[in-house]
Amino acid sequence: MEEMGAEKRRLVVIGGGIAGSMLAKSLQFHADVTFIDPKEYFEITWANLRTMVEPSFGERSVINHRDYFTNGCIVTSTAIDITETEVLTADDRSIPYDYLVVATGHSDPVPKTRMERLKEYQAENEKIKSAQYILIVGGGPTGVELAGEISFDFPEKHVTLVHSGSRLLEFVGPKASAKTLQWLTSKRVEVKLEQRVDLNSITDSNGSKIYHTTAGESIRADCHFLCTGKPLGSEWLKGTILKNNLDGQGRLMVDEYLRVRGRKNIFAIGDITDVPEIKQGYLAQKHALVAAENLKLLMAGGKERKMSTYKPGSTTAIVSLGRRDAVAQFPYTTLIGIVPGMIKSRDLFVGKTRKQRGLQPR
């Protein structure tokens, strides 16, 4: 237990995504927390695609940091360097730390303010509504979920999805991929596999755009959405004291306590870690809770041997398909349709995620 009146340890959290926001919220009354993020808000990222077809959904899924992080300092800037004692930011601040958490996830250039982000969704929605022919590039979870959202809300649209892989959703098993392809096809989504789209050779034809694939096919579309993977937010770490803690894929190597390997007071959580599991939001939140418990223990002078260990998540994954259906992969079975849809697709866990941050679900 921390003594009454004892000076709180200085904790710096870098990154305001799923993991970083959860950890900052959890420890705001247990440490002197400085929360560094280039944007002023936390976004429930798995709700992004619903917000593109229903912009008002963003009123609940895009949340100002100060709404849930009420007791600490927020620095709206980008971290550019880490030394043994402080974090340096792009706006020339030097922020000292006793403990540090890196949670920079994937790089995603988004606006600074919540209002600007909501305006972006409004513009994306107008783009969808005004188009008759829509091209989606990428058949991972983002591309598949966007195709599902558009085909459900706008069944009159002609949607084409192009994916470079031999099957959709390559991060899950072939059975889930096959069922997803069958579902999309039943909703009149045209899926083209093992092809890439050359976005540098778009031509115009009678007001529409013609896109060309590596297989020599031409696709008519009024607009396109690029849904390929985003790079890890770790490039900046190559010039810091953590440069030798990155693996070949740019992920921070962590131990079973989610500490950066070889470091006693630096943790890493979320997608930026080398934890061998599917990178998913609910697992990033589990990282945050384990790291928060360990930080509480260490900051109170507890023994390292009492720290909690993190066990990598299972192969469970749920990909929503519109507002009613979903495809779900569990350890021993794969389901598609309304039953898995009841788990995720209606609210996309937005109410639950808001409650975890102390907010009203609606």
152-166 burial code (b ≥16 CB/10 A, e <16): bbeeebbbbbbbbee
pLDDT of residue 205: 82
* Phi (first) and psi of residue 109, to 5 degrees: -70, 100
Name the strand (E) or helix (H) holding 142: helix 141-153
Cβ contacts of 318 within 8 Å, gap of 6 or more: 326, 327, 328, 329, 340, 343, 344
Query: Among residues 7, 4, 19, which one has the least CA distance to residue 288?
Result: 19
Q: How far apart are CA 94 and CA 132, in angstroms?
A: 51
3-class SS of residue 320: strand
pLDDT of residue 308: 98
Strands 197-205 and 334-337: unpaired
Plot region of 239 (φ>0 → left; ψ -120 to 50 → alpha; else → beta): alpha
Query: Among residues 227, 273, 260, 304, which one has the least CA distance to residue 19?
Result: 273
Residue 336 burial (CB count, 10 A): 21
pLDDT of residue 6: 64
pLDDT of residue 3: 45
Residue 134 burial (CB count, 10 A): 23
3-class SS of residue 7: coil
Give me the domains of the chain, ranges plus CATH numbers.
10-38+77-108+230-310 (3.50.50.60), 114-229+316-351 (3.50.50.100)
Query: Among residues 190, 229, 230, 235, which one has the least CA distance to residue 211?
Result: 190
Per-residue pLDDT of the chain (362 residues; tens, 9 = 90+): 444 446 899 999 999 999 999 999 999 999 999 999 999 999 999 999 999 999 999 999 999 999 999 999 999 999 999 999 999 999 999 999 999 999 999 999 999 999 999 999 999 999 999 999 999 999 999 999 999 999 999 999 999 999 999 999 999 999 999 999 999 999 999 999 999 999 999 998 887 899 999 999 999 999 999 999 899 999 999 999 999 999 999 999 999 999 999 999 999 999 999 999 999 999 999 999 999 999 999 999 999 999 999 999 877 899 999 999 999 999 889 999 999 999 999 999 999 999 999 999 98
* Strand order from edge to edge, sheet including 223-226: 190-193, 158-163, 133-137, 223-226
Q: How far apart are CA 251 and CA 272, in angstroms?
A: 5
- Both tokens of 6, joined, read 């004892």
Query: Among residues 318, 317, 298, which one has the least CA distance to residue 258?
Result: 298
Q: How far apart are CA 98 and CA 194, in angstroms?
A: 49
